[in-house]
Structure 1
Amino acid sequence: MSRIVLRNSYQLFCFIVLSFLLFSCSAKQKKEKVLTVYTAASVSKVMQQIATDFEKDTGIVLRINVASSGTLARQIEAGANFDYFISASREWMAYVDSLSLVDRGSISTMANNRIVAVVPVSNTDLMIGDSDLSHFSSLFKGRLAIGDPSYVPVGKYAQQIIQKYKWEADLKNRYLPAKDARDALFMVEMGEVEMGMVYYSDALQSKKLRIVYKFPIQASAPIRYYGATGKKQNKTLTLFVNYMQSEKVHQIWVKNGFNHN
């Protein structure tokens, strides 16, 4: 009788161990089929399109986390789990690199952008020429939507342009700071402000506003997007990095108004 009990107990033990191993293996395989990508808000549409194609082509799901570059960097600093980080700011990429939170050898320039002035589509009259820049602040009433320069890259670039053309005094107390690039765009679309300074790529996709001026590329620091992997490497992540260099991905960037490297 005791032998039967022992044999049954041994079989139950083996079954539990085998089930655990199979579950662990299955969980690991499932985990390897998902990558978490932290994405600057201004490239969220690009990454959603890439994610759709990537899953169709490889069966691997991209879980996209969208926010301003500064917010994403702080999340990563706080220990958030990610596989790939796309920053609209060299400074924020350098910040997470300084904390050894990304693979330094994987950091690369992904695309370029520019800043434009936009108004609600209901404003059908205003167009800005180079000669109008000397009295820019008088071309609209009320406040100007820009990203918050303290941590939103599009706001920093807008601030650099404002400083270059010496508009600080005229625009003082007229800024409506946004939490990220898309929020700055949304403020103009909703008519909360008469003008905004946003990314060309974002403005190109909106049917609710008009581009009234494209600022020279030289008017601010180069507007570049940077990508880097996390410290944990695997074959799935390598596949994604290689996919990001494909012609299909290049065309998605270009279609959305970016100058892709």
Structure 2
Amino acid sequence: MKNLFDIMSQIRRIAWVGGACVVLFGAGLCAAQPIDIFAAASMKPALDAIALKYARETGQALRLSYAASSVLARQIDQGAPADVFVSASSDWMRYVHDAGVLSQPACMIASNRLVLASGTPAAVTLDLDDIMTRLQGGRLAVPLISSVPLGIYAAQALTTLGLLQGLRPHLAQQDNARASLISVLRQESPLGLLYASDVRSVPGVFVVADIVAETHDPVRYLAASVTARGEAVVAYLAGPKGREVFVAYGFLAP
């Protein structure tokens, strides 16, 4: 007998996709539906590449939706039709696990590190005066420090370095890691606290200071299947083929 979590998950999922599924059944296309992956925004370059590779090898299309892990976790809990969840935070993966909507436990697929980045390559000392001089009245790009994984990691690092109090009024807090990267790329923000993988994937953004890993919690990416359809995809992400792509795009091995 299915437990209460399974039943509630199915009810939420049916409520979310009911209207669309009628159209798909009417057209006889439900069986060919792409597998839906809800993924942390910082995974976009690597997962876009993996989706192309996976489709070539298996004939199965992947449909990717990117946002902050916090946003995606809440959507999945509310019944959004995800088959796979990829999170940049173990806390938000735990949130989905505790909601009882996963078909299998999560596994770690990659890790990352933090850097201070800029649209100009001149190095910056992790000192309040030097950072303020570089900002020149502008703001430091960082995702929301209360909920977005990169923002949380960044706040931990700034606190450890004794910089958060002085920099808090000068933070430009944004919806996700990708938004902060674009802000630095466009030089709307003179500096940003970003993932090293994001900087590597975008020409025109430079690492100007490395953030010591011990200043914040480990940056770990986890993947889990929400439905049985997603289980093979999670195995692919966690396997050697997925790992090869993640490393090529600047992520660290699990």
TM class by shorter chain equals 0.7 to 0.9
In structure 1, the residue matched to 2:41 is: 41
* Separation (CA, whole Å) in 2 of partners of 1:134 and 1:78: 42
* Separation (CA, whole Å) in 1 of partners of 2:236 and 2:73: 24
| Structure 1 outlier segments of 4+, above 4 Å | 23-26
Deviation at 1:173, TM superposition (A): 1.0
- Which of the numbers 156, 159, 167 marks the counterpart of 1:160? 156
Deviates more, 1:164-173 or 1:189-198: 164-173
* Separation (CA, whole Å) in 1 of partners of 2:127 and 2:235: 43
In structure 1, the residue matched to 2:99 is: 99
- Which of the numbers 228, 232, 240 marks the counterpart of 1:233? 228
Q: What is the TM-score of this pair, normalised by structure 1?
A: 0.81
Residue 137 of structure 1 pairs with residue 136 of structure 2: no
Residue 217 of structure 1 pairs with residue 213 of structure 2: yes
Alpha carbons of structure 1 residues 71 and 238: separation in structure 2 relative to 1, 3 Å: closer
Kindly indicate whether the alpha-carbon contact (under 8 Å) linking 1:137 and 1:170 is maintained by their aligned counterparts in 2.
no
* Separation (CA, whole Å) in 1 of partners of 2:239 and 2:89: 23
Deviation at 1:260, TM superposition (A): 2.1
Q: Which amino acid aligns with 1:133?
A: D
Deviation at 1:150, TM superposition (A): 2.1
Counterpart secondary structure, 1:259: coil
In structure 1, the residue matched to 2:12 is: none
- Which of the numbers 169, 177, 180 marks the counterpart of 1:181? 177
* Separation (CA, whole Å) in 2 of partners of 1:137 and 1:257: 25
Residue 206 of structure 1 pairs with residue 206 of structure 2: no
Percent identical pairs in the alignment equals 28
Deviation at 1:139, TM superposition (A): 4.0
In structure 2, the residue matched to 1:12 is: none
Alpha carbons of structure 1 residues 54 and 171: separation in structure 2 relative to 1, 3 Å: same
Q: Deviations over 1:186-237 (max 9, x none)?
A: 111111111110000001111122111111111110000111111x314xx3
* Unaligned residue ranges in structure 1 (runs of 5+): 1-22
* Separation (CA, whole Å) in 2 of partners of 1:245 and 1:119: 32
Kindly indicate whether the alpha-carbon contact (under 8 Å) linking 1:137 and 1:167 is maintained by their aligned counterparts in 2.
no
* Separation (CA, whole Å) in 2 of partners of 1:200 and 1:49: 18
Counterpart secondary structure, 2:238: coil
In structure 1, the residue matched to 2:32 is: 30
Q: What is the TM-score of this pair, normalised by structure 2?
A: 0.84
Kindly indicate whether the alpha-carbon contact (under 8 Å) linking 2:109 and 2:243 is maintained by their aligned counterparts in 1.
no
* Separation (CA, whole Å) in 1 of partners of 2:50 and 2:225: 17
Larger Rg: 1
* Separation (CA, whole Å) in 2 of partners of 1:241 and 1:180: 23
Residue 79 of structure 1 pairs with residue 79 of structure 2: yes
Taking only aligned residues, the RMSD between alpha carbons, in angstroms, comes to 1.9
Deviation at 1:106, TM superposition (A): 2.5
Deviation at 1:119, TM superposition (A): 1.0
* Unaligned residue ranges in structure 2 (runs of 5+): 1-24
Deviation at 1:251, TM superposition (A): 1.2
* Separation (CA, whole Å) in 2 of partners of 1:42 and 1:107: 18
Q: Deviations over 1:12-50 (max 9, x none)?
A: xxxxxxxxxxx789545323xx21000100001111111
Kindly indicate whether the alpha-carbon contact (under 8 Å) linking 2:143 and 2:151 is maintained by their aligned counterparts in 1.
yes
In structure 1, the residue matched to 2:116 is: 117
Deviation at 1:240, TM superposition (A): 2.1
Counterpart secondary structure, 2:127: helix
Q: Which amino acid aligns with 1:78?
A: Q
Counterpart secondary structure, 2:169: coil
Kindly indicate whether the alpha-carbon contact (under 8 Å) linking 2:39 and 2:69 is maintained by their aligned counterparts in 1.
yes
Residue 250 of structure 1 pairs with residue 243 of structure 2: yes
